[in-house]
Amino acid sequence: MQVFLQTLVGGLSLGAVYALVAMGFSLVYRTMGLVNFAHGDVLMIGAYTASTFYTSTRLPFAVAIVSAIAVTGLIGLVIERVLRPLENKDVTLMLIGTIGFGMVLQALAILIWGATGRAVASPVKSAPLDVFGLRIRTYDLVVVAIAAIAVVLLVAFLQRTKRGAAMQAVAMDHEAATAVGIHVGRSNAIAFAIGAGLAALAGGLAGPMLYVNPTMGGTLGIKGFAAAMLGGCGNIPGAIVGGLAIGVLDSYAAGHFQGYSELVVFLVFTVLIMIRPTGLFGETTVSRA
């Protein structure tokens, strides 16, 4: 039982990272009906940027992550602006465009930081907490807490602000939103920027947990996308549940199947999607083609 609970705690912290990635995927998909395949590579840029500010310039970890969010937010705006002429015209070219942006970001990361990667020291120096015999890393609690705050802020933005309401109107019917004076392009740009910021937050938090390298966006991006699909693509609460589920499953698979953990995770994911193709929350998919 103790091993079970220990693995569960570790899985929840990793799942919080996947949830942030999934939320970024879902937000862009919900607003534009587009899967941003550059999302994982934006995460990787965010991880490198945060680690550089934290380790090289000695900025506080929180400031380093905020700086990374600002950088990737600008990248998100650039991606959206380049893709804007294709919106509602050719979804296939837009998808190819996001893949191309991902390749460019990987090449830039190798050019700037090299291909060897780097380890990032934990910003929390305190010893693990002992709770009823469980050894809980303090940093894991920090990751879960920051992810929870990000969820609350995103939900508050979408439900309590005019800009958030406009984004949701665009998600429901972009033609009707345009007819009532909502600037669809601006809403899409904000969705891309927020999604990129969530990716940077996930990457910055994952840095001390994993190894920062140019290909990390592939692994985290695929699992984040799987989490978004599992919860119901475009469904923000579903993205959170899907992320936590994938994180816990990943943690247990790594503990019991070692080298086959990735295979086990995606086999279980495939079975669940076959049983419920629209995801656990069953949200209807969006098509803008």
* Whether the predicted model's global pTM rises above the 0.75 cut: yes
In this structure, is residue 232 part of a structural domain?
yes
In this structure, is residue 18 part of a structural domain?
yes
pLDDT digits (tens, 9 = 90+) for 170-180: 877 777 877 87
pLDDT digits (tens, 9 = 90+) for 179-217: 877 888 888 899 999 999 999 999 999 999 988 999 999
What mean pLDDT, rounded, does the chain reach? 88
Q: Classify burial at 55, counting beta carbons within 10 Å of its beta carbon; exposed 0-12, middle 13-18, buried 19 or more.
A: middle
In this structure, is residue 289 part of a structural domain?
no
In this structure, is residue 220 part of a structural domain?
yes
In this structure, is residue 137 part of a structural domain?
yes
Q: Nearest-CA neighbor of 45 among 10, 76, 23, 5?
A: 76
Average the pLDDT over 49-69 and give the result.
93
Backbone dihedral region for residue 100 (phi beyond 0: left; psi -120 to 50: alpha; all else: beta): alpha
CB of 9 closer than 8 Å to CB of 140? yes
Q: Classify burial at 84, counting beta carbons within 10 Å of its beta carbon; exposed 0-12, middle 13-18, buried 19 or more.
A: middle
Q: Nearest-CA neighbor of 88 among 170, 191, 195?
A: 170
Number of structural domains (the chain) is 1
pLDDT digits (tens, 9 = 90+) for 237-285: 999 999 999 999 998 888 788 778 888 989 999 999 898 888 888 655 4
Q: Nearest-CA neighbor of 172 among 288, 56, 78?
A: 288
Cross-strand pairs, 190: none
In this structure, is residue 128 part of a structural domain?
no
CATH number of the structural domain spanning residue 203: 1.10.3470
C-alpha–C-alpha distance, residues 172 and 179, integer Å: 13
Work out the angle at residue 156's Cα, subtended by the Cα atoms of residues 151 and 162, and round it to the nearest 5 degrees.
140
Q: Containing domain of residue 50, as a range?
A: 2-117+133-275
C-alpha–C-alpha distance, residues 58 and 61, integer Å: 8
C-alpha–C-alpha distance, residues 198 and 89, integer Å: 27
E strand segments, 13-117: none
